Structure 1
């Protein structure tokens, strides 16, 4: 994308964004107060927003313009723009402010994330076993799921808040925190956004940074692993994967009523969490390097050989017929003389939109100039052939006030001022030719 600033002010704003301002305030400027500086900053932010809006406006129409899927990409972009019509436009100050507000409040999400990670990694075996016990009760008695949100609020939020208000007396021995009796002894804990540039604020920034990196790595790994089997770039391989998944889906659909799902979920959950134990991770890693890695390439080669042997893709290209209409216009109303006009994709009948709007017909002068539709090509052994059954395509298009010449295959207009069926100003006949789909590597640019 290339963007040319349309004014000196936009050029200055773009320079400030890329290289930073080069103006240094003097003592006199500082003595004038901060009002002018604030106005200058506001004006500069406004110019920056305008510039970025123009950058996005210039970029959006070009998205999806290259490739066969451009129409789908443009439709998706149009849908996203429609969904965002009530949302604020992109702005650097708004983005910075929203990021600061999010960063001050997202700490609770990362604390929950790290708590789940500690449970899965067996940092404290008692916590992990307790979580597995709860999971086992949920698998055996699914109705407990309706109680879990209430239990989480009572035990995870309200009980710690009450203990915070009624702290137990200090004790040198570890014991279960029994709240003190009597009136509250401490202030109620409130969830507040952390102050900017505090330690929690910077830790949240670090967590957001690392989460973005984890997401991009996971996304690239998943796309790299599942792209080849599912995007039909290698049609034989993807077809084999499709057949395997289809058979597996049908088999599971048939066996689903007799599968003990509670037991399956119970065993699967215990197995997944058990794999997070340090000793289990070492065993799995050693077993993978010893038994699985040497055989992965061999199994892949066997599957590829099976694909090459049993999956045969020898499909003929899709073939259809395209049509063009030869239009001629009456030269002399007294004699039957007609001038060759053009070849058009529309019959230009009396009820066609272009004819009703009094627009001239659109097309090419000679038949050799007619091109195949985008994504198609004329077959090598085909030629333009006249349609010998004009009554069929006249009936299909519901043409009115026409006169069909069955011998010459012309379809004439009926004169508007002649009730006896006199011929009008235009006549047309239909030509057809076969064409077939172009392979992806042969698409015209």
Structure 2
């Protein structure tokens, strides 16, 4: 029986589903030109040229073959080192061992299940890195300009940026103008000046008026080409890429070391208090965000961050005294938050408990009115007369022995044994089971009732011919209702069941 079967408990909280083990145990070549026998002849210039070209092609084919062989050898070497499984996909967890913590399925958003992307390949990786490194120079130029801007290398440029920032904060409707103005002044104007350069004036030459940009272009248009491999710019890009990776690693580790202890619930009191504070702040901003002076806030934030990049302020902040003050302030803030969480947050030390159910099914032949019911199996479904499995003709699924019933994955038994549910009428009414006889005393069996009217109605329906299982179910419901209202004599059917319950509790992964 699958682990996704439905179950019920006589309480308001949902319960896990037990696992049942089925009874069957299933779960190219260079061509050399031919020469004359012993004849000798002079080699003309055209033949010499053809000979040299053929030698060049042979050398190129040889180099290509050598390169391919080198790639194959490198791939063979890495295949012995890298894992054998596909790194792009996540296979479903093993469900044969319910006690294993690896059964918890974790979504991998980088898997090809969500986005179809090429697999890892050494030749592709090498080619893509060379192409990427030859084109990434423009990003490093932008990075260097931003560093010079915010470190006050040229104060006039930084002050100009602050003026622009002030205009945008005071009048946010100017924000769409920024990308257009940047394209005009930083892309198109330099490109036009490249096509119309200023004349070179040497000392002693006649005076030439500069600034006339009319007339035909005097130089070629500027184009951006990838840096050639093994060139100076190529190795500069590799150097900058190396430094960017180190900067990213430092920032990544710093952010994780600060945020992870607060948000990963390693200290549940602290993380719970932080969650409550963030929730309250979110609700407050949701209501009163329109009342805050956002223009002034962004203006002061921009001025503060830009001022912090000034060399004198950086020298002041990096002194040991100020570093100690900042460290003590962070420590005191964490301590106050921790003490507040310990005082106001209480975590229950007991494990979460639930109650699972199983139904004991017994069967006898329908024609044997006086025969004894025999044990059939234990199933998570009561296999009621009007259940979808019963109407479609499926047999009940489960296990023949109590010992094969396992707790849900991630849970363990908290009770020593199964307990018979004495409130049989309650679970019958909760499931709206009809056409059964309920024992309120004794062994609490819930037995099917077989009506003769039901049998004759089924025969008439079979004579009628082609209707689906849904029509069959509706007809049986109607027949049962009429038989119940008319008090038609009945006898016990071929199935009966009773409910067993047992407590479970959560276990750590």
Unaligned runs of 5+ in 1: 1-28
Unaligned runs of 5+ in 2: 1-57, 95-99, 204-209, 457-488
Indicate the residue corresponding to 1:83 in structure 2.
Answer: 114
How many Å apart are 1:355 and its aligned residue? Answer: 8.7
- 1:49–1:91: 8 Å Cα contact kept in structure 2? no
Measure, in 2, the Cα distance between the counterparts of 1:140 and 1:264: 11
How many Å apart are 1:359 and its aligned residue? Answer: 5.0
Indicate the residue corresponding to 2:347 in structure 1.
Answer: 313
Q: What is the correspondence of 1:59-74 to structure 2 with a 5 Å cutoff?
A: 60-61=89-90, 67=101, 70-71=104-105, 73=106
- 1:413–1:427: 8 Å Cα contact kept in structure 2? yes
Measure, in 2, the Cα distance between the counterparts of 1:64 and 1:217: 34
How many Å apart are 1:203 and its aligned residue? Answer: 1.5
- 1:132–1:270: 8 Å Cα contact kept in structure 2? yes
Indicate the residue corresponding to 1:225 in structure 2.
Answer: 258
Measure, in 2, the Cα distance between the counterparts of 1:209 and 1:39: 28
How many Å apart are 1:384 and its aligned residue? Answer: 1.2
SS in 1 for 2:147: helix
Q: Which has the larger radius of gyration?
A: 2
How many Å apart are 1:269 and its aligned residue? Answer: 0.4
Indicate the residue corresponding to 1:10 in structure 2.
Answer: none
How many residues matched? 403
- 1:403–1:413: 8 Å Cα contact kept in structure 2? yes
Matched, 1:434 2:503: yes
Residues 212/36 of structure 1: CA separation in 2 closer, same or farther (3 Å cut): closer
Measure, in 2, the Cα distance between the counterparts of 1:179 and 1:90: 56
Measure, in 2, the Cα distance between the counterparts of 1:32 and 1:247: 70
Q: Which of 113, 123, 140 lines up with 2:153 in the alignment? A: 123
Measure, in 1, the Cα distance between the counterparts of 2:451 and 2:76: 62
- TM-score w.r.t. structure 2 length? 0.68
Measure, in 2, the Cα distance between the counterparts of 1:273 and 1:48: 51
How many Å apart are 1:241 and its aligned residue? Answer: 1.7
How many Å apart are 1:30 and its aligned residue? Answer: 8.1
SS in 2 for 1:81: coil
- 1:49–1:90: 8 Å Cα contact kept in structure 2? no
How many Å apart are 1:310 and its aligned residue? Answer: 2.9
Measure, in 1, the Cα distance between the counterparts of 2:129 and 2:60: 33
Measure, in 1, the Cα distance between the counterparts of 2:60 and 2:180: 60
Q: Which has the higher helix share?
A: 1
What do you get for the CA RMSD once the two structures are aligned?
Answer: 3.8
How many Å apart are 1:120 and its aligned residue? Answer: 0.9
Q: What is the correspondence of 1:165-244 to structure 2 with a 5 Å cutoff?
A: 165-170=195-200, 178=211, 180-244=213-277
- 1:345–1:363: 8 Å Cα contact kept in structure 2? no
How many Å apart are 1:381 and its aligned residue? Answer: 8.7
Q: Which of 361, 368, 380 lines up with 2:397 in the alignment? A: 361
- TM-score w.r.t. structure 1 length? 0.76
Q: Which of 382, 407, 426 lines up with 1:347 in the alignment? A: 382
Residues 96/432 of structure 1: CA separation in 2 closer, same or farther (3 Å cut): same
- 1:53–1:90: 8 Å Cα contact kept in structure 2? no
How many Å apart are 1:142 and its aligned residue? Answer: 0.8
Residues 344/172 of structure 1: CA separation in 2 closer, same or farther (3 Å cut): farther
Measure, in 1, the Cα distance between the counterparts of 2:156 and 2:222: 27
Q: What is the correspondence of 1:300-339 to structure 2 with a 5 Å cutoff?
A: 300-314=334-348, 317-330=351-364, 333=368, 335-339=370-374
With 392-401 and 132-141 compared, the bigger mean Cα shift is at 392-401
Measure, in 2, the Cα distance between the counterparts of 1:213 and 1:421: 83
Question: Comparing both chains, which one has the higher relative contact order based on Cα–Cα distances under 8 Å and sequence gaps of 6 or more?
Answer: 2
Indicate the residue corresponding to 2:12 in structure 1.
Answer: none
